[in-house]
Amino acid sequence: MSTRRIYLDYAATTPVLPEVADAMRPYMTEVFGNPSSVHSYGQEAKRALDESRDTVARIIGADASEIYFTSGGTESDNFALIGVAKANAARGSHIITTAIEHHAVLETCEYLRTAGFDVTIVPVDQHGLVDPADVEKAITEQTILVSVMHANNEIGAIEPLAEISKITRERRIPLHTDAVQTVGAIPVNVDDLGVDLLTLTAHKFYGPKGAGALYVRKGTRIAPLIHGGAQERQRRAGTENVPGIVGLAKALEISQIDIEAHAAAITELRDYFIRGLVGRIEDMRLNGHPTRRLPNNVSIAVQYIEGEGMLLGLDMLGVAASSGSACTSGSLEPSHVLQAIGLPFDIAHGSIRFSLGRFTSKDDLDFVLEHLPRIVERLRSMSPLIG
């Protein structure tokens, strides 16, 4: 077991920055009031809540009244889909989404099917990209919501949201996007994208887990998901997680410092890593679009072996990555994303995802480039798929 530790799973979660933890700390110990309380303790907490809402709104080009704080990406996706479906049920019962969405969207759509809604799942091409024309073809008079992720968490494909939004706006259909992988990584503006609802979560951009937000454009009909008190302007009941929300806003603010330069630097490292892998490992392919992808995403499929074997070999060397063919609930099926882009079963099972972050160095990547080919060679020597 190596004593070196290299983290290349930033798409799964990120460490909380020291500055973010420092910003949160007072709201756990000193400014601990309930923001719904009228006394000074509560009003101090409410000011922090309002300032955080202003910060999030400013960064994504929204109004503060359009930001609703949640417990994270999954809740925000549920809130968007179920909330819009319920609020617009009298107008229609049809929802459109894509084959590569996060389970937080796909499973919510399955739930809505059981509640009497119709769901159309639009396919993607071999790179994981949605064709706006396919979205247009899927629209019916009953369509009340379209949900297309901004970028895929597994293969990094960045979707043509601006083009899709032109179609949905012409028909006055709300467009939701799960932007969990893009907010904080690349510039995101709700008007440029043309979206009516947008999901984000703090732990993807060096903030705390358990804090997220949903942007809801003014005029978008949406019903509450969580019922109880009057918090979040009566649309999301429950005492707000003030420390987490402060951390979210601080982390998002930090992410915007030289964001384009940072994205360019990560992209350069990503491309260096991809070139190195291609040059060292035979019978390997890059999953996702070669250029229209997240700056930090490297998803590969290696033939004749399973991704889990590579993961275990890397983990023994202190390297953390994730499997592109991760099993769900004990299923032996490869991921729905890899199936959607048409990867054959055996190749899909040989997928692995590396995701880079602000603490990734070229030396880290060189270490992987040195050792991964040896792991692949060893696994292939034992593989029944060869010969």
Give the residue numbers marked as catalytic: 327
| CA contacts within 13 A on the Cβ side of 376 | 21
H-only helix segments in the chain: 18-24, 26-29, 40-60, 73-87, 103-114, 132-138, 161-170, 190-193, 231-234, 242-255, 259-280, 307-316, 336-340, 345-348, 362-381
Instruction: Locate 125 and state its tokens.
Output: 């091409």
Dist CA 281 CA 310 (whole Å):
13
The owner of tokens 């979707």 is 159
Question: 349-373 burial string, b = 16+ CB within 10 Å, else e?
Answer: bbbbbbbbbbebeeebbebbbebbb
Helices 307-316 and 362-381 meet at what angle, rounded to 10?
A: 130
